Structure 1
Amino acid sequence: MILFENVSKVYPNGVPALNNINLQINNGEFVLIIGESGAGKSTLNKLITREEKATSGEIIVNDMNLSTLKERKIHLLRRSIGMVFQEFRLISNMTVYENVSFAQESIGIPMNLIRSNVDQALKRVGLSSKANRFPHELSGGEQQRVAIARAIVNGPKIILADEPTGNLDMKTASEIMTLFEEINKKGTTVIMTTHNREFIERTSKRIIVIDNGSIPSDLKEKVLTS
C-alpha cells in the first residue's frame, strides 16, 4: 500500500511542488496519474522512491515510513519498486539479456538464478527470441518491452511507469498498455503517469488528477469532461 497523509513538498529554492496531499493506493491497483507539465506528477513519483523527501506529512510505501527511513535502507524500498521511463534508458552496449540481468546483478542475485529469472521476464514481455540483440537493433516498442522486463525481473510490488507510451505510435502504445494490464493482473500495483488521451477516455481504471500540486476530489469526472 502507498499512503500519503498531509504531504507537502517545497524545494530548497522555495518553489512549492505538492500541497497537503492525501492519497491511498491499495495493493494491486492500476492507477493513472495525469496533469499538466509542472503540476507535481514527477515529484509524486520521486517521493514514492525517496529520491526526494517530503517537507511535511507522512508517506508509507510497502510498510516503510519514508519520513523515518534510514539512508542505508533506501535500497530495500527501491528494490520493491520497478521503474519504466519514456526514454527507455537502456544501456546501448549491452544486449537485451544483459540489460535485464544487470538489474539482478546489481542487487546480488546469485548467477545460477539470474538466467531463469531473466528468461522468464523476457518471455512475459514477448522478447525471448531477441535476447542477444542490442537496443539499436530493436523497434521503439521492443525497447520499451526490454525496459519493462528489466522493471519486473526482481519481482517488485510496485511498477512506476512515467509516460511509458510517450514515444510510441498508437498501435504500439496500445500493446504496451495491454502488457501493463497483464502485469497488474498478476498482482503488481501499477502507477502510470500518462497523456494518452485515448486510453484515459476508454479506461475504467482509477484516475488521479494532479493540478497545481493538489489532487481534485472528483478525479475521473474532471478528466472525462475537461
Structure 2
Amino acid sequence: MKRLYTAFALVIAMFTATAPGAASLDEQLQQAAAAGDAAAVRDLLGKGAAVDARDSARRTPLLRATHGNHVDAARVLIDAGADVNAKDAIQDSPYLYAGARGHLDILRLTLAHGADLTSTNRYGGTALIPAAERGHIETVRALIDAGVDVDHVNRLHWTALLEAVILGDGGARHVEIVKLLVAAKADANLADGDGVTPLQHARRRGYGEIERILSAAGAR
C-alpha cells in the first residue's frame, strides 16, 4: 500500500510539473523582466532560466526589460551575461532600442558590455539616427562619445543630422543635437536621396537657429 501511494504521489508531482498552462522558468523570466522585477529575475536565473531565452517575437528578457526602461532588471540580466546585441523579429536589440528611446541608463550598460556600434535597425540606421530624430540629447552625446559613425546613412538615405532637421521640430532639443553633431564633425553637406542638404531642409522649414549653425559649419 505504501509503495502504491508513493508511486501515485510521483505521478501527481510529474503531472503538476508539466501541467498545461504552467509557465516554464524561461517564460517566468520573460514575465519578470517585462515587469521590472529584478529580485524575481535574479531568483529565476539562479534556478536555471536561460538568460537569453526568446519569446514568440524573438525578444530576450533583456529586450523586454529595456522596453519598460527597467534599469535594475536590465542590470541583473547584463551582469548574468545577457547579449546586449540580440535582435528580435523586427531587428531591435537592447542596445538599439535603448538608444532609439533615450533609455540612457540602460544604453550606458549596453555600451559598457559589448554593444555593437555598427549594428543597425530595420531601417538600416544606427542607434544614433533615431536618437537624433527624437531629441534625446544625452543619448546622442553618449553615442557620439562611444564612437558611433555620425555620417551613417540609413535606407531612407538620411543621416542623424538630416533626421534631426527633417523629423525634428526645430526647437531647443534639436538645435542642441545639431550642435553636437556638427561638433562631432558630421558632414553638413551630406544630402538626402533627392540631393537636398540639411541646410536646405532647415531653410524650407524656417529653422533659423539650425540654419545659422549649419551655415557656420560651412553647409551649403
**Bin for the TM-score computed over the shorter chain:** under 0.3
Identify, as 1 or 2, the structure richer in helix.
2
Question: TM (normalized to structure 1)?
Answer: 0.27
Question: TM (normalized to structure 2)?
Answer: 0.27
Bigger Rg, structure 1 or 2: 2
